[in-house]
Amino acid sequence: MSWITIAMPALFGLVAVATYLGRRASMQAALGQYAGFVLSELAPRLGLRIVVGDPEANLLLPPQAMNREEYVDGRFEWHVRLDGAPRGRPVIVEHHEVREVDQRFTETRYCYRTHIHMSALTRYTGRAEITSRKATHGAPTRSLPLPLATFGDPLLDEELVLAAEDPRVGPTLRELIHEIDPGLRMHGLHLVIDEGVVSVRATRQNAMSVLYFAESSLPILESIAETLETA
């Protein structure tokens, strides 16, 4: 038996330990960096209540669920929902993720379904959609079959795609869209106005980057909802 044969199990063990410690250190660093997004701290700051979720959960850091033992019947679910009306208009922040694992022979496949958004309710009944043309994690995919429109603002029209039933939506909202944090727009703005809800949606890939701006975004969404009602 060669020394390589003898040493290989130990080497694999060291690699596994190093990988575990690296992940743990990375998670600890993230927990410190995003401590302000623990629900028990974030909800009062937003003026919202915790409807679903552990008060000690972090909105930006859902559990990794790396081990199949954490799945129940091949399914892992994590759900956080905050709601309230801090300025008189109902608003919601929600991060709902379902992961399913399919183990076939030596291949493991994970399927993700997510519902991640910040929303404000409105009496406006029209539909519109605004998406970034370019984004860190890829441009958002439009979800509504609406005609293209413009903001009448060269900078916004170069950066964002507007689709709307009523072409007046663009000029009406352009000043408010300018107020949305450039960091959120860079990471992929997907703003949908549909069925009485004004919402910024996120995917699993950019959820952290989008929800990071919840505190500054919710008042803007409320202003959009009010402006559409009174325009």
Q: What is the 3-state secondary structure (H, E, C) of 38-60?
A: EHHHHHHHHCCEEEECCCCCECC
Domain co-membership, 41 together with 71 = yes
Domain co-membership, 53 together with 9 = no
Calculate mean pLDDT across residues 167-173: 98
Rounded to the nearest 10 degrees, the angle between the axes of helix 169-179 and helix 214-230 is 160
Mean pLDDT of the chain: 85
Token pair in block for residue 230: 């009174």
- Whole-number pLDDT of residue 22: 43
Domain co-membership, 107 together with 23 = no
Q: Which DSSP string do the residues of 146-198 spell out, in sequence order?
A: --EE--S-HHHHHHEEEEESSTTHHHHHHHHHHHS-HHHHHHH-EEEEETTEE
Enter the pTM of the model: 0.81
Domain co-membership, 42 together with 100 = yes
Calculate mean pLDDT across residues 8-35: 50
Structure letter (DSSP) for residue 143: -
Is the model more confident about 74 or about 195? 195
Band of the pLDDT at 117, cuts 50, 70, 90? very high
Domain co-membership, 29 together with 66 = no
Residue 129 confidence (pLDDT) above 80? yes
What total number of domains does the chain contain? 2
From the DSSP assignment, how many helices (H) and strands (E) are in the chain?
7, 9
pLDDT, tens digit, for every residue of 102-111? 766 566 676 8
From the list 151, 154, 142, the residue with the least C-alpha distance to 169 is: 151
Band of the pLDDT at 68, cuts 50, 70, 90? low
- Whole-number pLDDT of residue 89: 97
Domain co-membership, 178 together with 215 = yes
Q: CB of 37 within 8 A of CB of 50?
A: no
Domain co-membership, 71 together with 157 = yes
